């Protein structure tokens, strides 16, 4: 892989009116501490749908989406060490200041000037994307571009498990059979949970969960009143959250992983919170878990691979989003010509 010989490139753009456009724009220039990456695969997730349909905090419109991606380094800034042209990388999209109180205590996802790739700065739904070299992690190319692009959501799940204070030896319930929920189920089993139950109203997603090694996949209406030590709300749905709160065991924890609209509100019984000594915590993005996710992905790659649908070229962004809306895929990823 060598630096691009052209000064222009194609990109997908979401405009302020929430329309999708295919544009031609300049190849990003890189700062001394940055690398230029040619993407191999780019995932679409719930954050992208929020950006597209009604907005997401920190979005700078018009924006090139794409924060879950892998690719090859094709150019390096003058100050970059430890990477070289041709390296196959997965990229942590959270571009942080490194100096605020949150960065200093290892919570970069809460950085006061957080500017994520694909949200606050141009993303990977393009021929090229610029990223700080410190955010690019070399991965084994044998994983393939689509699996490597799943490292970002895996990092988010690892942060959620840490937020729960661990799942080993515990009964775990997960609401939502999408990417985050399925990864949470897979990793909970890997991390030693005694029991893992996934709840989703869609029979197809429950079938996929079974195929991914999660034997207990049920409809939410069949959960009854049984309680669990750790409950992950990964559906991003208010009914799921309302039900989840009632199913947390004494001294248990509810981890909010799913992204609801920022104007949404929910109610809960404060006496139950007091009586059962429950904890309700949020888990936002991947924090500092990207390096761990690179390692863990090697252990679960074969389980993760069947969750990916990469039928669409990146330039078919709108069609891919349409398939997602129909519930036809778990993880929709966009591929690039010659990069599958």
Q: Is the pLDDT higher at 6 or at 210?
A: 210
Q: How far apart (Å, rounded) are the C-alpha atoms in residues 109 and 252? A: 25
Asked if residue 340 belongs to a domain, the reply is: no
- Same domain as 68, residue 177: no
The string of pLDDT tens digits covering residues 259-275 is 988 888 988 889 999 99
Same-domain check for residues 307 and 269: no
CA 210 to chain centre: 22
Residue 2 reports pLDDT greater than 80 = no
Query: What is the pLDDT, as a whole number, of residue 340?
Result: 59
Could you tell me the pLDDT band of residue 175, with boundaries at 50, 70 and 90? very high
Looking at the structure, tell me whether residues 126 and 100 fall in a common domain.
Answer: yes
Instruction: Concatenate the DSSP letters of all residues of 182-204 into one string.
Output: HHHHHHHHHTT-SEEEEE-S-HH
Residues 305 and 271 in one domain: no
- Both structure tokens of 305: 């691979």
**Is residue 83 one of the residues assigned to a domain?**
yes
Residue 17 DSSP label: T
Residue 327 has pLDDT above 90, yes or no: no
Residues 132 and 194 in one domain: no
* Residue 299, token pair as written in the block: 């252990």
Q: What is the mean pLDDT of residues 232-250?
A: 95
The four Cα atoms 85, 87, 88, 94 give a dihedral, to 10 degrees, of: -80
pLDDT of residue 1 exceeding 70, the answer is: no
19 shares a domain with 130: yes
C-beta separation of 114 from 95 below 8 A: yes
Long-range contacts of 245-248 (CB under 8 A, 24+ apart): 245/269, 245/272, 245/278, 245/280, 246/272, 247/173, 247/223, 248/276, 248/278
pLDDT (0 to 100) of residue 339: 66
Q: How crowded is residue 128: how many other Cβ atoms within 10 Å of its Cβ?
A: 23
Per DSSP, helices labelled H in the chain are 46-53, 101-104, 145-148, 151-163, 179-190, 203-211, 238-245, 270-276, 290-304, 317-325
Local structure of 22: helix, strand or coil: strand
Q: Which domain holds residue 90?
A: 8-149+289-335
Find the mean pLDDT for residues 289-316. 96
Spatial neighbors of 19 by CB under 8 A, at least 6 apart, are: none
Instruction: State whether 260 and 139 are in the same domain.
Output: no
- Whether 54 shows a pLDDT value over 90: the answer reads no
The arithmetic mean of pLDDT across residues 174-192, rounded, is 97
Could you identify the residue written with the tokens 């399925």?
182
Tell me what the pLDDT averaged over the chain comes to.
Answer: 95
Average pLDDT over residues 57-78: 96
Kindly state whether residues 140 and 117 are assigned to the same domain. yes
The answer for 238, left when phi > 0, alpha when psi is -120 to 50, beta otherwise, is: alpha
Does the reported pTM lie above 0.85? yes
Structure tokens at 53: 């349909």
120 lies in some domain:
yes
The string of pLDDT tens digits covering residues 123-173 is 999 999 999 999 999 999 999 999 999 999 999 999 999 999 999 999 999
For 58-75, what is the mean pLDDT?
97
pLDDT of the residue at 101: 97
The domain that contains 211 carries what CATH number? 3.40.50.720
The verdict on 20 and 136 lying in the same domain is yes
End position of a domain, from candidates 282, 304, 321: 282
* Whole-number pLDDT of residue 146: 96
CATH of the domain at 303: 3.90.180.10
Taking the C-alpha atoms of residue 65 and residue 70, their distance in angstroms, rounded to an integer, is 14
Q: Clarify whether residues 92 and 55 are in a common domain.
A: yes
Render 148-166 in DSSP notation, one character per residue. Answer: HTTHHHHHHHHHHHHHTT-
Task: Of 218, 233, 234, give the one whose Cα is nearest residue 330.
Answer: 234
Instruction: Find the mean pLDDT for residues 204-227.
Output: 94
How many domains are contained in the chain? Answer: 2
Q: Are the C-beta atoms of residues 111 and 54 closer than 8 Å to each other?
A: no
Could you tell me if 174 and 195 are in contact, meaning their C-beta atoms sit under 8 angstroms apart?
no
**Tokens found for residue 198:** 């996934």
Question: End of a domain among 282, 300, 327?
Answer: 282
Co-location of 298 and 322 in the same domain? yes
């Amino acid at each position: 892989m060598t630096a691009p010989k052209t000064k222009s490139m194609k990109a997908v753009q979401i405009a302020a009116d929430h329309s999708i456009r295919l544009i031609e724009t300049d190849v990003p220039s890189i700062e001394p501490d940055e690398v230029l990456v040619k993407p191999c695969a780019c995932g679409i997730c719930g954050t992208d749908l929020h950006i597209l349909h009604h907005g997401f905090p920190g979005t700078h419109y018009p924006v090139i989406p794409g924060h879950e991606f892998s690719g090859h380094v094709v150019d390096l800034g003058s100050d970059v060490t430890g990477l070289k042209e041709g390296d196959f990388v997965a990229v942590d999209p959270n571009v942080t200041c490194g100096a605020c109180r949150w960065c200093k205590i290892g919570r970069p996802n809460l950085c006061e000037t957080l500017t994520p790739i694909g949200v606050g700065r141009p993303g990977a739904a393009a021929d090229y994307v610029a990223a700080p070299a410190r955010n690019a992690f070399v991965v084994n190319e044998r994983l393939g571009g689509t699996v490597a692009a799943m490292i970002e959501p895996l990092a988010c799940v690892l942060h959620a498990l840490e937020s729960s204070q661990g799942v080993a030896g515990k009964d775990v319930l997960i609401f939502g059979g999408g990417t985050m929920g399925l990864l949470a189920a897979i990793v909970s089993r890997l991390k030693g949970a005694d029991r893992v139950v996934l709840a989703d109203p869609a029979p197809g997603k429950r079938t996929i969960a079974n195929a991914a090694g999660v034997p207990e996949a049920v409809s939410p209406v069949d959960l009854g009143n049984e309680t669990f030590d750790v409950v992950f709300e990964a559906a991003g749905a208010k009914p799921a959250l309302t039900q989840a709160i009632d199913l947390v065991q004494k001294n248990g924890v509810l981890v909010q992983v799913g992204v609801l609209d920022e104007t949404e509100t929910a109610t809960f019984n404060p006496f139950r919170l007091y009586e059962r000594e429950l904890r309700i915590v949020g888990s936002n993005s991947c924090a500092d878990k990207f390096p761990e996710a690179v390692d863990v992905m090697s252990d679960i790659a074969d389980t993760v691979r069947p969750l990916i649908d990469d039928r669409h070229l990146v330039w078919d962004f709108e069609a891919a989003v349409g398939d997602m809306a129909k519930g036809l895929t778990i993880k929709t990823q966009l591929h690039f010509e010659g990069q599958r």
